[in-house]
C-alpha cells in the first residue's frame, strides 16, 4: 500500500474481538451501522468472506436522490485479526482487529481517492467506524434476531395489513393475544404497544419510510399503563430497537424483521415471531 496516499483511522470498542469480527462481516449487521450521516443508509449488503470472495454494499440517500455500490474483493482473510480488500476502483483497504482483553482496537488503513479532500475522506470513514463502535457496544449486551417471510401480496398490502390499527390486532393475536397499539406511524412520533392489561413498550420511530422501512427505538416500559424507565426490566429494554423492512419482486413481498433484545428475551421471540408472521401471511394472501 502506497503510504503517500493512505489514511489511517481507528477506534477501541468495548466488546471482545470475536463479537467485533462477526458484526463487521455480517450483512444483517452491516446495514445497521454502515453510514456516515443520518441522511444516508445501506440498503443491501453481500459478503463472501474468503480470499477471492466478493463484497458489496449499496449506500443510498434516504430521500432516494442518489445511491452507489461500494464493492470489491477480499485479498486477505485471517480470522479474527486481519482483512485486506481490493476495491472496485483499484484502491486497497486494510482492517486490523487487535484484541485487548475484553476490548478490541480496530485500525483501518485505506488508499485515498482523488476526488475529495483527504480530510473529507478521513471524516467520512471515521464517522462510519464510530457508528460501528456504537452498534457493537450496544449489541455487546443485546442479541440481534432476524426473521424473514415471503408473502404472495404486493408490498403496500403487506405494509397496510401489518401496521393497520385493526389488522395489527389480528396478526399479533397468533403470538401475543390481546395486543394493540396507540399512536401514529410517522418518523419522530411515539407509539405505545400494549397487552391486555395495558403493560408493554413505549417506542419512538427513529426512521420511517412508508411502504419500505420503519424502525423504532424502545424508550420506556409500560406497567399497567404507567410509564417505567427505572426498573431493572426497563433498563434492559430502553435503547433496544425493532425494525421492519419490505421489498417486493414480481408481486411477492419479503418482510424482514430485526430486533435487538437481551438474551433473556431471545427464546420467547424466536418462538413467537414466526407464529405472528405466518398469521400475517395468511391474512394478506
Confidence of residue 3 (pLDDT cuts 50, 70, 90): low
Q: Note the pLDDT tens digit of each residue in 82-110.
A: 999 999 999 999 999 999 999 999 999 99
Specify the residue for cell string 463479537: 19
Percent of the chain with pLDDT strictly greater than 70: 99
Domains in the chain with CATH codes? 3-139 (3.30.530.20), 143-284 (3.30.530.20)
d(CA 280, CA 157): 11
Beta strands in the chain (DSSP E): 6-13, 40-47, 54-61, 67-78, 82-87, 92-100, 103-111, 143-151, 180-183, 190-194, 200-209, 213-223, 226-228, 241-249, 252-261
Q: Note the pLDDT tens digit of each residue in 49-72.
A: 999 999 999 999 989 999 999 999
Q: Note the pLDDT tens digit of each residue in 256-280.
A: 999 988 878 899 999 999 999 999 9
Predicted confidence at residue 199, as pLDDT, reads: 95
Q: What is the mean pLDDT of the chain?
A: 94
The three cell numbers of residue 77 are 482473510
Q: Note the pLDDT tens digit of each residue in 238-255.
A: 878 999 999 999 999 999
d(CA 278, CA 126): 41
Predicted confidence at residue 69, as pLDDT, reads: 96
d(CA 216, CA 238): 11
Reported for 94-101, long-range contacts at CB under 8 A and 24+ positions apart, including other chains, are 94/1, 95/24, 97/17, 97/20, 97/21, 97/24, 98/17, 99/16, 99/17, 100/12
Predicted confidence at residue 28, as pLDDT, reads: 77
Residue 231 has pLDDT above 90, yes or no: no
d(CA 131, CA 32): 9
d(CA 67, CA 245): 18
Confidence of residue 2 (pLDDT cuts 50, 70, 90): low
d(CA 31, CA 28): 6
Confidence of residue 171 (pLDDT cuts 50, 70, 90): very high
Q: What are phi and psi of 237, to 5 degrees?
A: -85, -35
Amino acid at each position: 500500500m502506497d503510504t503517500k496516499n493512505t489514511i489511517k483511522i481507528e477506534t477501541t470498542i468495548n466488546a471482545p474481538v470475536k463479537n467485533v469480527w462477526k458484526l463487521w462481516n455480517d450483512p444483517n449487521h452491516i446495514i445497521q451501522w454502515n453510514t456516515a450521516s443520518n441522511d444516508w443508509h445501506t440498503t443491501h449488503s453481500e459478503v463472501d468472506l474468503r480470499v477471492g470472495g466478493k463484497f458489496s454494499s449499496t449506500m443510498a440517500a434516504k430521500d432516494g436522490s442518489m445511491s452507489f455500490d461500494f464493492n470489491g474483493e477480499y485479498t486477505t482473510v485471517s480470522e479474527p485479526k486481519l482483512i485486506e480488500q481490493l476495491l472496485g476502483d483499484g484502491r486497497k483497504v486494510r482492517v486490523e482487529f487487535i484484541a485487548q482483553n475484553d476490548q478490541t482496537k480496530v485500525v483501518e488503513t485505506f488508499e485515498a481517492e482523488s476526488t475529495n479532500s483527504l480530510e473529507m475522506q478521513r471524516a467520512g470513514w471515521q464517522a462510519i467506524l464510530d457508528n460501528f463502535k456504537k452498534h457493537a457496544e450496544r449489541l455487546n449486551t443485546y442479541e440481534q434476531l432476524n426473521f424473514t417471510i415471503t408473502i404472495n401480496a404486493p408490498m403496500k398490502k403487506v405494509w397496510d395489513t401489518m401496521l393497520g390499527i385493526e389488522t395489527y390486532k389480528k396478526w399479533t393475536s397468533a403470538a401475543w393475544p390481546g395486543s394493540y397499539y396507540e399512536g401514529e406511524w410517522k418518523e419522530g412520533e411515539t407509539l405505545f404497544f400494549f397487552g391486555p392489561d395495558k403493560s408493554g413498550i413505549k417506542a419512538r420511530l427513529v426512521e420511517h419510510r412508508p411502504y419500505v422501512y420503519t424502525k423504532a427505538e424502545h424508550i420506556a416500559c409500560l406497567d399497567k399503563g404507567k410509564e417505567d424507565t427505572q426498573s431493572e426490566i426497563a433498563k434492559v429494554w430502553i435503547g433496544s430497537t425493532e425494525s421492519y423492512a419490505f421489498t417486493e419482486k414480481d408481486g411477492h413481498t419479503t418482510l424482514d424483521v430485526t430486533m435487538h433484545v437481551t438474551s433473556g428475551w431471545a427464546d420467547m421471540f424466536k418462538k413467537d415471531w414466526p407464529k405472528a408472521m405466518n398469521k400475517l401471511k395468511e391474512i394478506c394472501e
